């Protein structure tokens, strides 16, 4: 392949990864600290880019040169920052999540697929109480945050709501605007239930009413999921659907659900987010991996039952099972 053609493909890959409203020329000019005219000449292939520029651009846009050059390799490149317990900043973590959702939302055409072994974390942001519980659980159990490890949930709750929930609300508000497909099963609520049970048994709640309140909040959130599935549209608790039909499709699968995987499908590209060790998430633009994931999710959907807007009987049955499961745990019954 000629070097000019390779350079054109290189910039085309970048163009496919950025929303339509973003100027590729301005992005490259700023990144390389050159004029827009110089950026134009590189993008058109009139001026050859240096290896140093290739390295800088590839690192910034997460471009695999092996894939670009057609090199056969079994390696798949993922990008992400592993959580460092010593320097972890939850507000920054949520701000980065918000940035990812805003970036996805800016694509003209997009679909967000989520294979949900657990309730997608951002859904908890609909409820300030559930959001605070999740923040507290993550920071106490996984980050070993000095404040949360020393204070019971009730003492930390107001602080967490005040400092973090405004970002969480922006995240879920942005997500409601993105056309999405979610794949659930009856086990999807288990991890949240187990976390509540764990803290209740560990004496982390100082008020006996706290546990019941959180279970009620989860029941209310499940009721909202059912309302969204009925409308075929995502919307915030306390509001009504606005007629944005088909921006939410929910499938249930009785047996096949292995992990939490997100795939974003746009007109020109696909990219995947893989959850790792609770709080970490990694992203890949690897075409082979993303195409494989897309096909696997399509196959899973074909073996699942769509319950949004259709299959009213199945939808009612599914959400009743979830509510009954949560109610049993609230009442201290053993069976899930």
Q: What pLDDT is recorded for position 1? A: 47
Q: SS3 for the chain, per residue?
A: CCHHHHHHHHHHHHHHHCCCCCCHHHHHHHHHCCCHHHHHHHHHCCCCCCHHHHHHHHHHHCCCHHHHCCCCCCCCCCECCCCCCCCCCHHHHHHHHHHHHHHHHCCCCEEEEEECCCCCHHHHHHCHHHHHHHHHHHHHHHCCCHHHHHCCHHHHHHHHHHHHHHHHHHHHHHHCCCCEEEEECCCCCHHHHHHHHHHHHHCCCCCHHHHHHHHHHHHHHHHHHHHHHHHCCCCCCCCCCCCCCCCEEEEECCCCCCCCEEEEEECCCEEEEEEECCCEEEEECCHHHHHHHHHHHHHHHHCCEECCCCCHHHHHHHHHHHHHHHHHHHCCCCCC
- Report percent pLDDT > 90 for the chain: 47
Domains and CATH numbers, the chain: 3-68 (1.10.260), 90-330 (no CATH)
Per residue in 266-285, pLDDT (tens digit) is 988 899 998 877 788 888 88
Residue 246 has a pLDDT of 79
How confident is the prediction along the chain (336 residues), in pLDDT tens digits per residue? 467 888 888 888 788 778 777 888 888 888 888 888 888 888 888 888 888 888 888 878 777 766 666 545 667 777 777 788 888 888 888 999 999 999 899 888 999 999 998 999 899 999 999 999 999 999 898 888 888 888 899 999 988 888 888 999 999 999 999 999 999 999 999 999 999 999 998 889 999 899 999 999 999 999 999 999 999 999 999 999 988 877 999 999 987 666 889 999 998 889 999 887 778 888 888 888 999 999 999 999 999 999 999 999 999 999 999 999 999 999 887 654
Report field, pTM of the whole predicted structure over 0.95: no
């Amino acid at each position: 392949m000629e070097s000019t053609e390779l350079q054109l493909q290189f910039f085309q890959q970048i163009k496919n990864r950025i929303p339509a409203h973003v100027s590729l020329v301005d992005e490259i000019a700023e990144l390389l600290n050159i004029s827009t005219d110089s950026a134009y000449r590189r993008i058109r292939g009139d001026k050859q880019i240096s290896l140093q520029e290739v390295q800088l651009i590839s690192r910034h846009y997460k471009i695999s040169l092996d894939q670009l050059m057609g090199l056969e390799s079994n390696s798949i490149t993922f990008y992400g920052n592993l959580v460092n317990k010593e320097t972890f900043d939850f507000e920054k973590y949520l701000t980065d999540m918000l940035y990812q959702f805003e970036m996805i939302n800016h694509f003209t055409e997009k679909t967000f697929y989520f294979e949900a072994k657990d309730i997608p974390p951002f859904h908890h942001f609909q409820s300030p109480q559930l959001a605070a519980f999740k923040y507290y659980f993550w920071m106490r159990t996984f980050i070993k945050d000095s404040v949360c490890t020393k204070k019971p949930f009730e003492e930390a709750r107001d602080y967490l709501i005040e400092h973090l929930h405004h970002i969480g609300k922006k995240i879920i508000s942005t997500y409601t605007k993105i056309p999405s497909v979610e794949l659930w099963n009856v086990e999807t609520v288990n991890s949240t239930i187990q976390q509540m049970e764990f803290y209740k048994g560990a004496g982390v709640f100082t008020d006996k009413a706290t546990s019941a309140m959180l279970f009620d909040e989860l029941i209310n959130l499940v009721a909202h999921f059912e309302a969204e599935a009925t409308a075929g549209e995502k919307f915030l608790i306390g509001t009504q659907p606005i007629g944005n039909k088909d921006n939410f499709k929910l499938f249930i699968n009785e047996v096949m659900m292995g992990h939490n995987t997100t795939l974003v499908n746009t007109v020109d590209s696909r990219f995947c987010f893989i959850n790792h060790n609770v709080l970490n998430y990694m992203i890949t633009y690897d075409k082979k991996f993303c195409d494989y994931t897309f096909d696997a999710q399509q196959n899973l959907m074909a073996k699942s039952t769509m319950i949004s807007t259709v299959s009213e009987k199945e939808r009612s049955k599914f959400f009743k099972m979830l509510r009954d499961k949560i109610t049993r745990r609230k009442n201290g019954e053993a069976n899930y």
